[in-house]
A and B are shown apart, each in its own frame.
Chain A
Amino acid sequence: MTAAAGDDRREGDGPGDAGGPSQFTDPERTGGYAHLLKAVVYRDLLIWVRYPLNAALGIFMGVFFFALMFYGGTMVAGQAFSDSIEGLIIGYFLWTLAIGAYSGIMNDIQSEASWGTLERHFMTPFGFGPVVVAKSIAIVFRTFMTSAVVLVVMLLITGTTLDLNLVTVLPVATLTIAGALGLGLVMGGLSVLYKRISNVANLLQFAFIGLISAPVFDIPWARFLPLAQGSAMLQRAMRDGVRLWEFDPLTITVLVGTSVGYLALGYAIFGLTTRRARRLGVLGDY
């Protein structure tokens, strides 16, 4: 795949075609979307490892809060708490994934804007959309890696075993956090427009707990909330060993529909906010 924006080019778009006095020749595009994705994922990982303390603290805090809950809960509720530990681990794992995706994309957009590199990502022949999608994929990839470490440590601490069928867990978890990614894009777009929105953004992280634990079997409409349907499916997959193909089609349809829907809605709002930021002249200002 080559020439990212080549499809958009018209006949005679190039300066040579215009017959101008330029000695310049059309830029040669040697890369495509695959190079874009590889570069964005690689950059994200490089930046992550080059803040080693921050990276290590992120994982440590994830484990620390779980340990606090686990030992605190065991002391208070004893066996009753231990009986529900699998659900807690799965919910916490999904929460770290959702928070990672949500805050990852939001912080990335915010830091690019404040640092001064956001505008350069806007000015690419690929368009801003594919760059943001590539960033989202990079963040989801990194979030899976860190959350997997937290999950393994949680299982070791509690001595619990879960069914980790990757063919089921990976697509369900990915689709589930797509909704969180959509919310992250909304908040990222709002941060470009309004700059300081950390209070609202942080509040939403706690709302994720409610969404992940929403009783979708008791309240049918709750399954249309972000994270809720995927959370219920992940519980069944990891605790009860239900495979992806064993879920009924309606359940999967709702998962795909809500995930894609919230992601698309988030992207659309992100597009509107960045357009508004361009109108106000604040796209790269912080």
Chain B
Amino acid sequence: MGREPSTNGQARDDERPVSANDGPPALDPDEAAIYVDGLAKTFGSGEDAVTAVEDVSLAVAPGEVVGLLGPNGAGKTTTIKSVLGLILPDAGTVRVHGIDVHANPRAAYEYVDAMLEGARNDYWRLTVRENLRYFAAIRGQDPDAVADRHEELLDHLDLAAKADTAVRDLSRGMKQKVSLASVLAGDISVAFLDEPTLGLDIESSLKLRTELRRLAEERGLTLVISSHDMDVIEDVCDRVIIMNEGRVVVDDTVEDLLAGFETRGYRITARGGSETALADLEDRFDLTDVQHTGDRLRFEVAADTATFYRLTDAMEAHDLDVASVETVQPDLAEVFVEMTNGTADPGGTSEEDGSTTREAPANRSPASERGDRR
């Protein structure tokens, strides 16, 4: 248990590396809503042993919304279930609001619940309201005493009109919302949501995202959302944790994570110049998507700040007038793929601990210098 968990995004220093498993913690175990330190789990033994998670450390502040991403087999589910006490880890400390989940689960479960099975998280033969009452009761609530709060919850999730309908008669998206409602019915402060928007149409998904943000901001609900829908993560989450091969490879705010990739390229439109000029530029720089029509030249180029300025100098030397420069900005999905495919390493991986480090992007991006972030 040597290392402390990574910092949470709220207290991030701009110079801090993107990775988890490094840097001083911004939260101590008692301050964090979720605190995981040195979590490890291997399934099986001998040649059949599979390491699901290895030395995972993270901390989530109360009221923070964190997205947990990773390809299949990255260790997300094992991490979540270990935090919830549903899997017994081989090593590591897990605390919810300072309470050791494995030593004192009943006290920890006062605060935490999870939607792990999507729409199969509740009983389809019961009505929406019956589900809410049941799950509130098994979480220590008198269903009658919290009926008003349940009505409010149904209203916010657009389920009020279907409150007395059996869940099995609802659409897939509605079932998903009932599942979420049944988790929130128990007055919790920490919720793990696995694919909360799965099966929702665009409008419902947007509404749910708004509701999740509202719950975090108004009720101080701490949310950990595991999803393959990058739009949800981007819209709802304050911070993203990306796991790969059982480790946390990225732990950063969504904004900074995206900003860190802004400098990967520029889309430049210029006027003038000749084929010779273009050939020279192609020879010296990594130009892609080149379109040369008449007087108009358009291309993309992968470049850091210094390269960008060398390129503009070269264009000037060839009498090319720069008409426009756009940063080529990836979305979270592209960042995710780049961070987990094992081929692109934005800053290098420490051989000792597997942590990824990267220069703080805000300091090297011309786009950032111009305040040109999206």
Residues of chain A touching chain B, judged by Cβ–Cβ distance below 8 Å, are: 2-5, 8-10, 12-15, 17-32, 35-36, 38-40, 42-43, 46-47, 50-51, 115-117, 119-127, 131, 275, 278-281, 283-284
Indicate if the CB atoms of B139 and A21 lie closer than 8 Å.
no
When the two chains form the complex, which single residue of B110, B166, B219 contacts A29, counting CB atoms closer than 8 Å? B110
A131 to B166, CA, bound (A): 24
Indicate if the CB atoms of A280 and B43 lie closer than 8 Å.
yes
CB-CB under 8 A from B171, the residues of chain A are none
What is the distance, in angstroms, from B146's C-beta to the closest C-beta of chain A? 6
Binding stretch for chain A, among B12-20, B122-130, B252-260, B270-278: B122-130
Given contacts A40-B138, A125-B109, A125-B110, are A116 and B220 in contact (CB under 8 A)? no
CB-CB under 8 A from B135, the residues of chain A are 120
Indicate if the CB atoms of A35 and B141 lie closer than 8 Å.
yes
- With both beta carbons as reference points, the residue of chain A lying nearest to B106 in the complex is identified as A5
Residues B200-230 near A (CB distance < 8 A): 219-222
- Is B88 an interface position by the 8 A CB rule? yes
CB-CB under 8 A from A9, the residues of chain B are 107, 110
What is the distance, in angstroms, from B142's C-beta to the closest C-beta of chain A? 4
CB-CB under 8 A from A284, the residues of chain B are 81, 86, 116-117
Indicate if the CB atoms of B109 and A29 lie closer than 8 Å.
no
A23 to B41, CA, bound (A): 33
- Is B63 an interface position by the 8 A CB rule? yes
The dominant DSSP class at the A interface is: loop
- Is B51 an interface position by the 8 A CB rule? no
Beyond contacts A20-B62, A47-B126: 8 other A-B pairs, Cβ-Cβ < 8 A, are: A12-B98, A15-B111, A29-B140, A35-B137, A42-B134, A46-B125, A119-B116, A125-B107
When the two chains form the complex, which single residue of B105, B121, B138 contacts A39, counting CB atoms closer than 8 Å? B138
- With both beta carbons as reference points, the residue of chain A lying nearest to B183 in the complex is identified as A120
Indicate if the CB atoms of B145 and A123 lie closer than 8 Å.
no
CB-CB under 8 A from B140, the residues of chain A are 2-5, 29-32, 35-36, 124-126
Give the one of A10, A30, A126 with max B CB within 10 A: A30
Indicate if the CB atoms of B126 and A14 lie closer than 8 Å.
no
Indicate if the CB atoms of A38 and B137 lie closer than 8 Å.
yes
A-B contacts, 28 listed (Cβ < 8 Å): A10-B107, A12-B30, A13-B99, A15-B189, A20-B30, A20-B31, A22-B61, A22-B63, A22-B220, A24-B222, A27-B111, A29-B141, A30-B140, A30-B145, A31-B145, A35-B140, A36-B137, A43-B123, A117-B122, A120-B113, A120-B138, A122-B85, A125-B109, A127-B106, A131-B138, A279-B88, A281-B43, A281-B78
A95 to B113, CA, bound (A): 39
Residues B270-325 near A (CB distance < 8 A): none
Give the one of B110, B113, B133 with max A CB within 10 A: B110
Interface range for B = 35 or more
A45 to B230, CA, bound (A): 42
The dominant DSSP class at the B interface is: loop
- With both beta carbons as reference points, the residue of chain B lying nearest to A20 in the complex is identified as B31
- Is B239 an interface position by the 8 A CB rule? no
CB-CB under 8 A from A4, the residues of chain B are 106, 140
CB-CB under 8 A from A131, the residues of chain B are 138
Indicate if the CB atoms of A122 and B138 lie closer than 8 Å.
no
CB-CB under 8 A from B116, the residues of chain A are 116, 119, 284
What is the distance, in angstroms, from B97's C-beta to the closest C-beta of chain A? 4
When the two chains form the complex, which single residue of B111, B117, B130, B188 contacts A116, counting CB atoms closer than 8 Å? B117
CB-CB under 8 A from A15, the residues of chain B are 33, 62, 97-98, 111, 189
Sorted nearest first, the 5 A-B pairs with minimum C-beta distance are: A22-B62, A116-B117, A39-B137, A24-B220, A5-B106
- With both beta carbons as reference points, the residue of chain A lying nearest to B186 in the complex is identified as A27
A2 to B63, CA, bound (A): 26
Indicate if the CB atoms of B106 and A278 lie closer than 8 Å.
no
- Is B84 an interface position by the 8 A CB rule? yes
Indicate if the CB atoms of B106 and A126 lie closer than 8 Å.
yes
Given contacts A15-B62, A50-B125, are A24 and B107 in contact (CB under 8 A)? no
CB-CB under 8 A from A42, the residues of chain B are 134
Indicate if the CB atoms of A36 and B138 lie closer than 8 Å.
yes
A27 to B111, CA, bound (A): 7
A121 to B137, CA, bound (A): 11
A27 to B220, CA, bound (A): 12
When the two chains form the complex, which single residue of A12, A22, A46, A126 contacts B126, counting CB atoms closer than 8 Å? A46
Given contacts A10-B107, A119-B116, are A30 and B142 in contact (CB under 8 A)? yes
A30 to B145, CA, bound (A): 7
Indicate if the CB atoms of A24 and B219 lie closer than 8 Å.
yes
CB-CB under 8 A from B98, the residues of chain A are 12-13, 15, 17-18
CB-CB under 8 A from A275, the residues of chain B are 88
A123 to B138, CA, bound (A): 9
- Is B363 an interface position by the 8 A CB rule? no
What is the distance, in angstroms, from A267's C-beta to the closest C-beta of chain B? 17
CB-CB under 8 A from B66, the residues of chain A are none
When the two chains form the complex, which single residue of B85, B107, B221, B222 contacts A123, counting CB atoms closer than 8 Å? B85
- With both beta carbons as reference points, the residue of chain B lying nearest to A280 in the complex is identified as B43
- With both beta carbons as reference points, the residue of chain A lying nearest to B11 in the complex is identified as A21
CB-CB under 8 A from B189, the residues of chain A are 15, 22, 24, 27
A10 to B100, CA, bound (A): 11
CB-CB under 8 A from A35, the residues of chain B are 137, 140-143
A28 to B187, CA, bound (A): 7
A85 to B145, CA, bound (A): 52
Indicate if the CB atoms of B107 and A31 lie closer than 8 Å.
no
Indicate if the CB atoms of A8 and B106 lie closer than 8 Å.
yes
